Amino acid sequence: MHTFRIGMITMLVGLSIAHGAEAKLRVVATLTEIGALVEEIGGDRVEVARLAKGNEDPHTLPAKPSHSRRMMEANLLVTNGLQLEIGWLPLLIEGARNPRIRPGTIGHLDLSSFIEPLEVPDGPVDRSMGDVHPEGNPHYTVDPSIYPALAEGLADRLSAIDPEGASYYAARLADFERRWTEKLTDWKSRLAFLQGEPIVTYHKQWEYFARTFGLRIIDNVESKPGIPPAPRHIADLEAKIRAENVRRLVHSDLIDPAIMRKLASRSGSRVLALPQAVDSRDGTGDLFSWFETLVSVLERAQKED
């Protein structure tokens, strides 16, 4: 475990809140998996509100007044970043009128600052390219290997805002990293059979997961991110699936599987639905159960072949 940046904490202590015996840090998380991570590290010292539900599309979440109300009294806003929330979060921040959580303040934490994004475009991005994010693929939270880095960054920020709880956050971070490392080793062992396995996904949201578990994404059902596929693309994709001997067409809980099933029936492959986030289906209420479900779904699919 890396050491905390004590110097930064000391410098920012003047900006921190007073934390009494009963007081809790009010934290707003944009996504359910981010909220689950805050609960893992923050424990009893935090009160967490999640904006997007697990079964909602984080690209297009409606900016509701109730969301802004949650943010009005927040001490910390934790975001996914990479412009995943660009369509609604700026409106909510403005509506909350809470200077503590504006970008650039101690109370605004963008977790993407702790990762190396995949698929950063080489040149300018415009709407003709579909839902391409100029800062890179934003769907990194499906990768279990990056959570220790996210947890460390989060613990640093919680300690900066709440110095009295620094030792508490450090202990919870150490415990989380120990348990997470054990499970990650187990998950990788159980999915070792996926190394080099070609798959087709509906949306470009499984690239980080595929990198960690050795899957090879050969194409997406969407011809461009966020844009439904044209018939010509589906025909070309069917040929590619046959040529590459693809057995799995993967989509998240959010996607209507009709196109996937039709493509699977023509190509001889099978459709596999994966839970896209914490709380996107029953039994995925925290980080550990979410990834355990992801692994188990893939294991069962292998046994059923």
Assign 21 a pLDDT band (cuts: 50, 70, 90). very low
pLDDT of residue 9: 37
Q: Where in the chain is the domain with CATH 3.40.50.1980?
A: 6-184, 191-274
- 10 has a pLDDT exceeding 50: no
105, 78 contact by CB (below 8 A)? no
Task: Choose the CATH number for 6-184 among 3.40.50.1980, 3.40.50.9100, 3.30.450.20, 1.25.40.420.
Answer: 3.40.50.1980
Question: What CA–CA distance (Å, rounded) separates 276 from 205?
Answer: 9
270, 248 contact by CB (below 8 A)? yes
Sheet holding 46-50, edge to edge: 46-50, 25-29, 76-79, 108-110
Residue with the bigger pLDDT between 18 and 138: it is: 138
Question: What CA–CA distance (Å, rounded) separates 116 from 189?
Answer: 24
Beta strand residue intervals within the chain, DSSP E = 25-29, 46-50, 76-79, 108-110, 198-201, 216-220, 248-252, 270-274
62, 88 contact by CB (below 8 A)? yes
Which tens digit of pLDDT belongs to each residue from 73-120?
A: 999 999 999 999 999 999 999 999 999 999 999 999 999 999 999 999
- Specify the pairing of strand 248-252 against strand 270-274: parallel
Which tens digit of pLDDT belongs to each residue from 141-196?
A: 999 999 999 999 999 999 999 999 999 999 999 999 999 999 999 999 999 999 99
pLDDT of residue 15: 39
3 state SS of 274: strand
275, 234 contact by CB (below 8 A)? no
Question: What CA–CA distance (Å, rounded) separates 201 from 222?
Answer: 8
Question: What CA–CA distance (Å, rounded) separates 56 from 161?
Answer: 30
- 121 has a pLDDT exceeding 60: yes
In terms of Cβ atoms closer than 10 Å to its own Cβ (0-12, 13-18, 19+), residue 240 is: middle
pLDDT of residue 95: 94
Task: Choose the CATH number for 191-274 among 3.40.50.150, 3.40.50.1980, 3.20.20.140, 3.40.50.300.
Answer: 3.40.50.1980
Question: What CA–CA distance (Å, rounded) separates 132 from 125?
Answer: 7
% residues pLDDT > 70 (the chain) = 90
- 18 has a pLDDT exceeding 60: no
- 20 has a pLDDT exceeding 60: no
